Structure 1
Amino acid sequence: MNLPTADMQRDKTFLAGGNWLNRHATVPRWWYDTWNYYINITIFPWLEAGYLCTGHKAVPADYGNNSGYWVPSTYGKFTNQDRSFHFRLRLWKEGWGKEWTPQVVIGANDGIGDSANGGSLSGQSEQGYGNGFWNRYYLAVTKHFYFEDLGTLGTHVSWIYSNRFDNKLNDPAMGANFRFHLKEDGSWLHKVVNGINLMAEVVPGYTDVKEDLTFNPDGAKYQVNVGMEYGFWKDYINAVVELNRCKYFSCGIFFKVHLK
């Protein structure tokens, strides 16, 4: 899912995973379906860092109607990858001070990319079709509500900013998830259901290109997405499926290990 939330992993949690992504689940640079893989570690209870690689396909004409970059014999194959770093810092923990207080996190996606051109922090609006494709910054607020013998409802509100010419954002986003925690009574059905986490979001982010593969500023800015995560083998393995705009399918899997 594309909504940044204030949920944090447990201290010293290591994640490694990958996804197959419909083009509508990415950014305009990927006008074709692609894949990614990533690692993520919670360095401290208040700090997460991640490294993401996204596949580039060799094509005769690429994003921005640029041609001549890829070797013709490789057309149609994934021959390169975009690399980006991601960071999250918790400013306030849920329940600090007063029980009703939410959790607050600030974060950056691809915040230090394209170092050859000054980095993602500089000149994004004039950068053209260069790197820093995932660049955005956000403030996320999350509050949980617990329902005994049923589950946990997470509510999420974010503000997302990016100055890239092809993903210029200064907009709110919102979403919710429900993780089942049915009463443990030895029931096989309860055990199966307790691995389910349902998700829905309304989030800004451009994805469309024109027929000539240049950015389409008239494309949809907001997306309504739904998804489900399922954890099994004591939550060490999690599978994720998403319907972007409630119809475009993407899926992935990640592995979770607690190092502490």
Structure 2
Amino acid sequence: MIKRILIIGYILSCHCMVSAQLTYGVTGLLHTPSAEMQKDKTVMIGGNFMNKEITPPIWSYHTYNYFLNVTIFPWLEVAYTCTLFKSQTIGIDWKTGKGKFTNQDRYFSVRMRMLKEGQFLKYMPAVVVGASDPFTESGDGQIASTQGNGYFSRFFVAATKHIPVGKEKIGIHLSYLYNNRKDYSLNGMAGGISYMPSILSDLTVIAEYDSKNIAFGATYLLFNHLHAQVEMQKMKYFTGGLTYKIYLK
């Protein structure tokens, strides 16, 4: 069984070298929050191919995003993410615009670590609270808007505990997500399992439930700087990305 997992992970990592990464532009699993944090003063610049199955319903087509992420302190991470719109989504005649990417949705994300793993007790999990796209400027401006922009709005609390199994390492991740949107409601539990094989320490194989769908994928850190991610949403729809990490400290 372990050999099969390693083979799958290796294949996924090879594919993700040529595709695209972090779907919200923040640290986490694939599309689900976790309580893991980057090293202090880590800067990440990246982008993703986003299958329409993983985006809010306003995107009826595959799209792309790109982001800048900075871990300002060991307990604070901030990101700015842009997701591309095609002409027909923003009211431009698709016959004139020919369905080209002509605009973008922009939003901030923030993650704050409340507890380190094992901070007070040996088996205590790490805990992080965070939000993505929390504020919309459409209308009078609202928090977790029911409509308008704020398409990627989500608030969450996440817990993570890593468990050594022999030389192997398994991560258990549990989170609760919420927003008030009618078109892309998030209000429930999410979670996942990550597996880091000892023979490929930079590879992580992940299975998750993002409160809507099940997904499977992998991440790989190449040369300590290039981080790649591949994901099969609903076990069949591909999303993936690349991120370059810069360590200022």
Match of residue 51, structure 1, among 69, 73, 80: 80
2:247 aligned partner: 258
2:61 aligned partner: 32
Code of the residue aligned with 2:239 in structure 1: it is S
Matched, 1:143 2:161: yes
Higher RCO (Cα < 8 Å, 6 or more apart): 2
**1:68–1:258: structure 2 CA closer, same or farther, 3 Å change rule?**
closer
> Can you list the C-alpha shifts for 1:200-229, whole angstroms capped at 9, x where unaligned?
10112xxxxxxxxxxxxxxxxx20001111
Code of the residue aligned with 1:202 in structure 2: it is Y
Aligned pairs for 1:1-260 (under 5 A) are 1-59=30-88, 62=89, 68-70=91-93, 72-112=95-135, 114-121=136-143, 124-125=145-146, 127=147, 130-149=148-167, 151-182=168-199, 193-204=200-211, 222-233=212-223, 235-260=224-249
**1:70–1:108: structure 2 CA closer, same or farther, 3 Å change rule?**
farther
Cα-Cα RMSD:
1.6
| 8 A Cα contact 1:107 1:138, kept in partner | yes
The Cα of 1:68 is off from its aligned counterpart by: 4.1
**1:118–1:12: structure 2 CA closer, same or farther, 3 Å change rule?**
farther
> Can you list the C-alpha shifts for 1:117-144, whole angstroms capped at 9, x where unaligned?
343416x22x3xx210000100101101
Distance 1:194 1:228 in 2: 13
Code of the residue aligned with 1:32 in structure 2: it is Y
Code of the residue aligned with 2:60 in structure 1: it is W
Structure 1 moving runs of 4+ over 6 Å = none
| 8 A Cα contact 1:120 1:132, kept in partner | no
Using the size of structure 2 for normalisation, the TM-score is: 0.84
The Cα of 1:146 is off from its aligned counterpart by: 2.0
The Cα of 1:170 is off from its aligned counterpart by: 1.9
Mind listing any 5+ residue stretches in structure 1 that lack a counterpart? 183-192, 205-221
Mind listing any 5+ residue stretches in structure 2 that lack a counterpart? 1-29
> Can you list the C-alpha shifts for 1:99-133, whole angstroms capped at 9, x where unaligned?
11000111001012x224343416x22x3xx2100
Query: Which has more radius of gyration?
Result: 1
